[in-house]
Amino acid sequence: MPLRQAIERSQGWHRRLTVPQFTVVTGLLVILLGTLLLATPLCSSSKVGLWEALFTATSAITVTGLSIIDVGADLTTAGQLVLAMMILAGGLGLMAITTFLQGFVVKGTGLRRRLDRGQTLDEFGVGGVGSTFRGIAATAALVILVGALVLYGFGFSDIPDRGERLWASVFHSISAYNNAGFGLWSDSLERYHDNVLVNAVVMVLIVMGGLGWRVTSDLASQGVRRGRRRLSLHTRLVLRTTLLLVVFGTLGLALTEWLNRGEVFIGMAWRERWMTALFESVTARTAGFTTVPFSLENITDSGTLLLMALMFIGASPGGTGGGIKTTTVAALMAATRSTMRGRDAVVIRNREIPDKVVLRALGITVASLLFVLAMALLLSIASNLNGAEPFTFLEMLFTCISAFATVGLDLGVTEQLGRFGQAVLMLGMFVGRLGILLLLSAIWEVMTREQIHIHRQNRIGYPREDLYV
Amino acid sequence: MPLRQAIERSQGWHRRLTVPQFTVVTGLLVILLGTLLLATPLCSSSKVGLWEALFTATSAITVTGLSIIDVGADLTTAGQLVLAMMILAGGLGLMAITTFLQGFVVKGTGLRRRLDRGQTLDEFGVGGVGSTFRGIAATAALVILVGALVLYGFGFSDIPDRGERLWASVFHSISAYNNAGFGLWSDSLERYHDNVLVNAVVMVLIVMGGLGWRVTSDLASQGVRRGRRRLSLHTRLVLRTTLLLVVFGTLGLALTEWLNRGEVFIGMAWRERWMTALFESVTARTAGFTTVPFSLENITDSGTLLLMALMFIGASPGGTGGGIKTTTVAALMAATRSTMRGRDAVVIRNREIPDKVVLRALGITVASLLFVLAMALLLSIASNLNGAEPFTFLEMLFTCISAFATVGLDLGVTEQLGRFGQAVLMLGMFVGRLGILLLLSAIWEVMTREQIHIHRQNRIGYPREDLYV
Ligand SMILES: [K+]
Ligand SMILES: [K+]
pLDDT at residue number B224: 62
Distance A154 CA to ligand 1 centre (A): 24
Distance from CA of B73 to the nearest CA of A (A): 36
Q: Per-residue pLDDT for B445 more than 80?
A: no
Ligand 1 centroid – CA A178 distance (Å): 8
- Could you give the CA distance from residue A201 to residue A215 in angstroms, rounded to a whole number? 19
CA distance A328 to chain B (A): 5
Among candidates B352, B462, B468 on the partner chain, residue whose Cβ is nearest the Cβ of A327 = B468
Yes or no, beta carbons of A339 and B351 under 8 Å apart: no
Cross-strand bridge partners of residue A408: none
Per-position b or e across A376-402, b if 16+ CB within 10 A of its CB? bbbbbbbbbeeeeeebbbbbbbbbbbb
Residue A461 within a domain: no
Answer yes or no: do B469 and A394 touch at CB < 8 A.
Answer: no
Q: Is A469 in contact with B327 (Cβ distance < 8 A)? A: yes
CA–CA distance from A384 to each of A377, A393, A410, B144, B444 (Å)?
10, 11, 20, 44, 51
- Rounded Cα–Cα distance for residues A404 and A368 (Å): 8
> Is residue A459 included in any domain, yes or no?
no
Residue B96 contacts residue B136 (beta carbons within 8 Å) = yes
Q: Residue type at B230?
A: R
Residue A369 burial (C-beta neighbours within 10 Å; 0-12, 13-18, 19+) = middle
Is residue A9 situated within a structural domain?
no
pLDDT truncated to tens, each residue of chain A (469 aa)?
455 665 555 555 555 677 778 888 889 999 999 999 999 988 888 888 899 999 999 999 999 999 999 888 899 999 999 999 999 999 998 888 887 776 543 333 343 344 433 333 334 343 456 777 888 899 999 999 999 999 998 888 888 888 999 999 999 999 999 999 899 988 888 888 888 899 999 999 999 999 988 888 888 877 665 555 577 778 888 999 999 999 999 999 888 887 666 677 777 888 888 999 999 999 999 888 988 887 777 888 888 889 999 999 999 988 898 899 998 999 999 888 888 877 777 887 777 888 888 888 899 999 999 999 999 988 887 776 665 557 888 888 999 999 999 999 988 888 888 888 899 999 999 999 988 887 887 776 655 434 443 444 344 445 555 555 5
Does B463 fall in a domain?
A: no
Helix axes B233-254, B326-340, angle to 10 degrees: 90
**Residue B213 CA to ligand 2 centre (angstroms):** 18
Angle, helices B77-102 vs B162-177, to 10°: value is 20
The closest alpha carbon to A305, from B233, B304, B443, B397, belongs to: B397
Is there a contact between A332 and B458 if contact means CB atoms under 8 Å apart? no
Yes or no, beta carbons of A233 and B467 under 8 Å apart: yes
Contacts of A354 in chain B (CB under 8 A): 464, 466
Q: Which of A302, A464, A469 sits opposite B380 (nearest CB)?
A: A302
B363 contacts in A (CB within 8 Å)?
A: 335-340
Q: How far is CA A467 from CA A314, A335, B209, in A?
A: 33, 18, 20
Which residues are near ligand 1, the ion (C-beta closer than 5 Å)? A 65, 181, 288, 408
Domain membership flag for residue A62: yes
Measured distance CA(A68)–CA(B5) in Å, rounded:
82
Note whether B359 contacts A352, CB cutoff 8 Å.
no
Q: Per the structure, how many domains does chain B have?
A: 1
Q: Which ligand is nearest to the CA of B409?
A: 2
Residue type for B158, please?
A: D
Interface A-B: count of C-beta contacts within 8 A: 226
CA proximity to B108, closest of B463, B446, B455? B446
| Cis bond upstream, residue B300 (ω within 30) | no
Residue numbers in A near B318 (CB within 8 A): 468
B262 within a domain of the structure (yes/no): yes
Contacts for B257-262 with beta carbons within 8 Å, 24 or more apart?
B257/B299, B257/B300, B257/B303, B259/A381, B259/A384, B259/A385, B260/A380, B260/A384, B260/A389, B260/A393, B260/B300, B260/B302, B260/B303, B261/A384, B261/A389, B261/B300, B262/B298, B262/B299, B262/B300, B262/B303
- What's the gap in Å between the CA of B392 and the closest CA on chain A? 7
Q: Report the separation in Å between the CA atom of B32 and the middle of ligand 2, taken as the mean of its atom positions.
A: 20
* Percentage, residues of chain B above pLDDT 90: 37
* Nearest CA distance, A318 vs chain B (angstrom): 9
Residue B3 domain-assigned (yes or no): no
Among positive and negative, which fits the CA dihedral A431, A433, A435, A441?
negative
Question: In the prediction, which pLDDT does B128 show?
Answer: 55
Question: CB count, 10 Å around CB of B77?
Answer: 12
Q: How many Cβ atoms are within 10 Å of A258's Cβ, its own excluded?
A: 15
CB B309 within 8 A of CB B335: no
As to burial, measured by CB atoms within 10 angstroms (0-12 exposed, 13-18 middle, 19+ buried), residue A405 is: buried
Q: Which helix (H) or strand (E) covers residue B385, if one does?
A: helix B355-385
Quick check: B355 and A359 CB within 8 A? yes
Three-point CA angle B228, B232, B237, nearest 5°? 120
- Would B120 be classed as within a structural domain? no
Chain B residues inside the 8 Å CB shell of A437: 339-340
Residue B440 lies in domain: 17-110+128-457
pLDDT tens digits along B93-143: 888 888 777 654 333 334 333 443 333 333 434 345 677 788 889 999 999
Give B453's contacts (C-beta < 8 A, 6+ positions apart).
none
Question: What is the rounded average pLDDT for all residues in chain B?
Answer: 81
A344 min Cα distance to partner chain B (Å):
6
